[in-house]
Amino acid sequence: DIQMTQSPSFLSASVGDRVTLSCKASQNINKYLAWYQQKLGEAPKLLIYNANSLQTGIPSRFSGSGSGTDFTLTISSLQPEDVATYFCLQHNSWPNTFGAGTKLELK
Amino acid sequence: EVQLVESGGGLVQPGRSLKLSCLASGFTFSNYGMNWIRQAPGKGLEWVASISSSSSYIYYADTVKGRFTISRDNAKNTLYLQMTSLRSEDTALYYCARRAALDYWGQGVMVTVSS
């Protein structure tokens, strides 16, 4: 199985900060990486698919990059409503696997 | 508007069975692969099973293989998850989601396995 390693596990940042979250795959997953935002008590929401494609309706401050094994989610200017846990998912090969998540808090 | 509504959860004893449903609306259900994902209380996300649009391809996580069965009825716009031989570690919020990239999710249905 492909292991997905997210870092950091916790991140505290200020409003307006540029925030970078990492997701590393244990083997090549090409571009089949998605990022999700999950707020407390809610279902996850797709932010980015195919590593760098912004899902419809998601603010442009969110962006994704990477291919192969190393991927990044960037929030260009952190907003209070971005407080959430962020998960990555590889769907290049079965079984699909999620990262453990990065919990983002406001400083 | 795409909507996915799960149902069928509840409290069940270890070793018993339960069947979840996910009613889809707002899109042509028969054109899309579908998935079940679960989240144990306070934990991360775990992919459980996937089924292609015509049910030709089905995949399971090792943790549920042989115990859970994913299926769909395209005439009823409904996805199913038949769960048997339930264990305490199957306790989780179960979500259905559309497509391999999981672009839309339901609100989830809670399954609690306890005596």
For A30-83, how does the pLDDT look when each residue is reduced to its tens digit (9 = 90+)? 999 999 999 999 999 999 999 999 999 999 999 999 999 999 999 999 999 999
- Residue of B43, B45, B103 to mutate, interface with A, max A Cβ within 10 Å: B45
Nearest in space to A28 (alpha carbons), one of A97, A100, A92, A98: A92
Using an 8 Å CB-CB cutoff, list chain A residues near B95.
43-44
Token reading at A65: 């990059």
- Which pLDDT score, from 0 to 100, does residue A90 have? 97
- Which pLDDT score, from 0 to 100, does residue A29 have? 97
- Which pLDDT score, from 0 to 100, does residue A103 have? 98
pLDDT digits (tens, 9 = 90+) for B45-72: 999 999 999 999 999 999 999 999 999 9
Identify the contact set of chain B against chain A, taking CB-CB distances under 8 A: 35, 44-47, 50, 59-62, 95, 100-108
Mean pLDDT for B24-44 is 97
Cβ–Cβ of B100/A43 closer than 8 Å? no
Token reading at A48: 């980015």
B106-110, Cβ contacts within 8 angstroms, sequence gap of 24 or more: B106/A43, B106/B4, B106/B5, B106/B6, B106/B22, B107/A43, B107/B5, B107/B6, B108/A43, B108/B6, B108/B39, B109/B6, B109/B7, B109/B8, B109/B9, B109/B20, B110/B9, B110/B10
On average, the pLDDT of chain B sits at: 97
Cβ–Cβ of A34/B61 closer than 8 Å? no
Given B59, B103, B106, which is nearest A55 (Cβ)?
A: B103
- Which pLDDT score, from 0 to 100, does residue B23 have? 98
- Which pLDDT score, from 0 to 100, does residue A74 have? 98
Distance from CA of A17 to the nearest CA of B (A): 26
pLDDT digits (tens, 9 = 90+) for A15-40: 999 999 999 999 999 999 999 999 99
User: What values do phi and psi take at A23, rounded to 5?
Assistant: -140, 120
- Which pLDDT score, from 0 to 100, does residue B25 have? 98
Using an 8 Å CB-CB cutoff, list chain A residues near B45.
36, 38, 44, 87, 89, 98, 101
Q: Under a CB-based contact definition with an 8 Å cutoff, are residues B13 and B64 in contact?
A: no
- Which pLDDT score, from 0 to 100, does residue A93 have? 93
